[in-house]
């Protein structure tokens, strides 16, 4: 079965269709490698919706994750009740009194319209196909994203939602299609479903000021009493999907990936947390590892916001064997969400959005924009063995979550240039602070490996573009 994987939804339609009716929010009650060659760049846009309205069919009964309540001893029952009371009477009141939610963490904004939570849906095969599915189009189209299982107690950022994967399977032989969506059953989701309430702190939505520190302390107390086990994972697996070494991996950078299986009937099943056969033990991997289309090797980064080295790079061979880790000494923990490969190099960003937990003592968020820091890119050989082999090149006032592609070329003077296609966001922290003047411009960044200089130009002006994709076969090549 061929797979086209992304955290975006790609829509194929021979006859465009009318937008679906908006669904109402759904929460669990707390009491209870494709053969296709897609265009060089693809955007999350549905073009020319058609007037056809499909008849409404009665869906099957919804499925929600169910987990038996944990077997608690008398001490744990007492501790659980006491900590719940502390949360309700102290922490929640602190948040309501002292925390003013901006629109990026306001649940009333973040969970409305197309972003409203939805129920799980088992595989449905009674879908009407408008037109004919081409025989060359066969496989599964997948989208991963946040879908909170419980209503937020306080703030909620779209980075915080529990991971849910949507799958559209195309069967051209019978001109059929199926649809399914399932939560990725992370340790976090399974624990909270069993307890019947959210207990893991939301890193962006809830960790603000003293109330955020109180939530961290509350979580620590629950861990000490055995109510939760953070050693089994704290992440939501809601950002990305990568197919590597015969496994479909759901990722977010606060945890290890989770393996998800696509069943023969088009449904989704979580197989468990994946530590690469015991080769990763004490850190997570970023949400956007890169798979070399020529070798099948997976390159990735791991970072630690609490201890040095804050960043390390390593790779897994196509058969899954891990290389030696190379520590990278960043002066402060930095949000590194993505990176790029060229034919001979790895390109990593070191931008101005950093982690500074002391800001919480002053009432702020630990994720901040540092105006005194100069953004830069690190260029290193693919077979890097020591951080001294990294060449750092400054690119002032440049911040981007996603790098679309990168490649090498020579300029008119014969100098070696690394070209990076990147969405540059300004203000850099607007995705966290809710600034109204957010711009995310598709830009070409040219890094001169001989002079150490850089240039940046906007490729598409007047339009916000983010999280674009290239044909995976073109990664590291001019596109």
Bind-site residues: 288, 337, 402
Contacts of 216 (CB under 8 A, 6+ apart): 201, 207
Q: Which residue has the tokens 């319209």?
A: 113
**How many CB atoms are closer than 10 A to CB 192?**
22
Tell me how far apart the alpha carbons of residues 169 and 125 are, in angstroms, rounded to a whole number. 9
Element of type H or E holding 3: strand 3-4
Picking from 421, 279, 248, the residue whose alpha carbon sits closest to that of residue 342 is 421
Q: Are 404 and 468 in contact (CB under 8 A)?
A: yes
Quick one: tokens of 150? 């419980």
For residues 199 and 219, what is the distance between their CA atoms, to the nearest angstrom?
7
Query: Exposed/middle/buried for 226, CB within 10 Å: 0-12, 13-18, 19+?
Result: middle
Residues making up the annotated binding site for Fe cation are 288, 337, 402
* C-alpha closest to that of 454 among 440, 444, 439: 444
Tell me which residue has tokens 């299982």: 149
Quick one: how many helices (H) and strands (E) in the chain?
6, 25
Q: What is the DSSP string of 401-448?
A: S-EEEEEEEE-TTS-EEEEEEEEEEESTTHHHH--TT-EEEEEEEEEE
State the Cα–Cα distance between residues 185 and 200, nearest whole angstrom: 15
**Tokens 């009650």 sit at which residue?**
29
Enter the tokens of residue 444.
């070409």
Q: Are 248 and 3 in contact (CB under 8 A)?
A: yes
Tokens for 224? 């000490």
Ramachandran angles phi, psi of 38, nearest 5°: -70, 170
Determine if residue 397 is left, alpha or beta; phi over 0 gives left, psi from -120 to 50 gives alpha, anything else beta: left
């Amino acid at each position: 079965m061929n797979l086209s994987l992304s955290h975006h939804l790609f829509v194929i339609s021979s006859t465009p269709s009318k937008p679906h009716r908006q669904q109402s929010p759904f929460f669990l009650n707390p009491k209870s490698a494709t053969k296709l060659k897609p265009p060089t760049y693809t955007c999350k846009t549905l073009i020319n919706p058609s007037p056809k309205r499909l008849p409404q069919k009665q869906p099957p009964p919804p499925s929600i994750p169910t987990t038996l309540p944990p077997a608690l001893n008398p001490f744990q029952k007492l501790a659980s009740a006491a900590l719940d009371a502390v949360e309700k009477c102290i922490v929640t009141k602190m948040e309501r009194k002292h925390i003013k939610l901006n629109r990026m963490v306001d649940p009333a904004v973040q969970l409305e319209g197309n972003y409203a939570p939805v129920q799980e849906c088992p595989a449905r095969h009674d879908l009407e196909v408008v037109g004919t599915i081409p025989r060359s189009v066969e496989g599964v189209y997948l989208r991963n994203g946040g879908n909170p299982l419980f209503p937020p107690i306080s703030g909620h950022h779209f980075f915080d939602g529990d991971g849910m994967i949507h799958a559209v399977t195309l069967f051209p032989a019978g001109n059929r299609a199926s649809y399914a969506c399932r939560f990725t059953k992370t340790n976090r989701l399974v624990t909270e479903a069993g307890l019947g309430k959210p207990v893991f702190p939301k890193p962006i939505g809830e960790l603000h000021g003293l109330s955020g520190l109180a939530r961290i302390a509350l979580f620590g107390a629950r861990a000490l009493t055995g109510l939760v086990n953070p050693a089994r994972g704290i992440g939501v697996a809601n950002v990305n999907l990568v197919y590597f070494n015969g496994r479909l991996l759901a990722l977010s950078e606060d945890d290890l990936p989770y393996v998800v299986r696509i069943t023969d009937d088009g449904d989704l099943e979580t197989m468990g947390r994946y530590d690469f056969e015991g080769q990763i033990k004490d850190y997570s991997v970023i949400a956007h590892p890169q798979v070399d289309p020529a070798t099948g090797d997976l390159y990735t980064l791991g970072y630690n916001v609490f201890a040095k080295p804050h960043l390390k790079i390593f790779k897994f061979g196509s058969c899954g064997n891990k290389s030696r880790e190379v520590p990278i000494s960043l002066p402060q923990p930095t949000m590194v969400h993505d990176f790029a490969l060229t034919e001979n190099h790895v390109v990593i960003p070191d931008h101005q959005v950093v982690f500074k937990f002391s800001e919480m003592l002053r009432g702020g968020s630990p994720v901040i924009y540092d105006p005194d820091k100069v953004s830069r890119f690190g260029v290193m050989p693919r077979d890097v063995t020591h951080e001294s082999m990294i060449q750092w090149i400054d690119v002032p006032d440049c911040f981007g979550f996603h790098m679309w592609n990168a490649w090498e070329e020579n300029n008119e003077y014969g100098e070696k240039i690394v070209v990076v296609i990147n969405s540059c966001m300004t203000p850099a922290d607007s995705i966290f602070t809710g600034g109204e003047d957010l711009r995310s411009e598709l830009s070409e960044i040219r890094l001169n490996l001989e002079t150490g200089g850089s240039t940046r130009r906007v490729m598409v002006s007047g339009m916000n573009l983010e999280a674009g994709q290239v044909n995976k076969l073109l990664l590291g090549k001019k596109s």
